[in-house]
Homo-oligomer: A and B are copies of this chain.
Amino acid sequence: MKKIIMEIPEITQKLLAAKKAKNVSFADLEKAVGRDEVWIAAVIYRQASASDEEASKLLLALGLDEELAQELGEYPVKGLGPIVPTDPFIYRFYEIMQVYGMPLKAVIQDKFGDGIMSAIDFTLDVEKEEDPKGDRVKLIMSGKFLPYKKW
């Protein structure tokens, strides 16, 4: 019955603390680094690896020592951990997969043939859509279609 607390890498904690202390948004970091804010968040949460230059810009924007750049360049072991996420925000993405997985497979393979949407040659953008009935989150995913190779 343990409430498992987020066990985030130490470097992630350092960067998030600096971000908070400097009151910098991810959108600000996007401008400073010249990369999308989601990708930058992925670097911070150690789900993506940065080049030296990208890491330096990020650390500079957060007022942190450049020494940390090396660690941000390492190729992380990726993934969240729990099989079914309990956090409601993250669970909704699990639910979308459960509910719309088969319909998406049907529609996309109808358009492209037998294959998959890459999650590696892949980008992910977030936009805020203001709406009088309640603002909306707009997520744009773009993944290369990879047809099954025959041999």
Contacts and interface: CB of A to CB of B under 8 A. Distances in A.
Interface of A: 1-9, 12, 16, 25-27, 35-39, 41-42, 44-49, 54, 75, 77-126, 128-129, 131, 133-151
B88 A95 contact: yes
Contacts of A47: 99-100, 102-103
Given A3-B102, A39-B150, A117-B139, 12 more contacts: A2-B6, A5-B77, A6-B77, A77-B105, A78-B87, A80-B99, A92-B117, A95-B119, A120-B149, A123-B149, A136-B144, A141-B141
19 contacts: A1-B4, A1-B80, A2-B6, A6-B77, A16-B106, A27-B111, A38-B107, A45-B106, A47-B103, A48-B114, A78-B87, A78-B98, A95-B119, A96-B119, A104-B139, A107-B126, A122-B149, A134-B145, A136-B142
B137 A108 contact: yes
- How many of these chains are in the complex? 10
B39 A151 contact: yes
Contacts of A150: 35, 39, 48, 54
Contact of A3 (B6, B25, B39): B6
Nearest to A101: B90
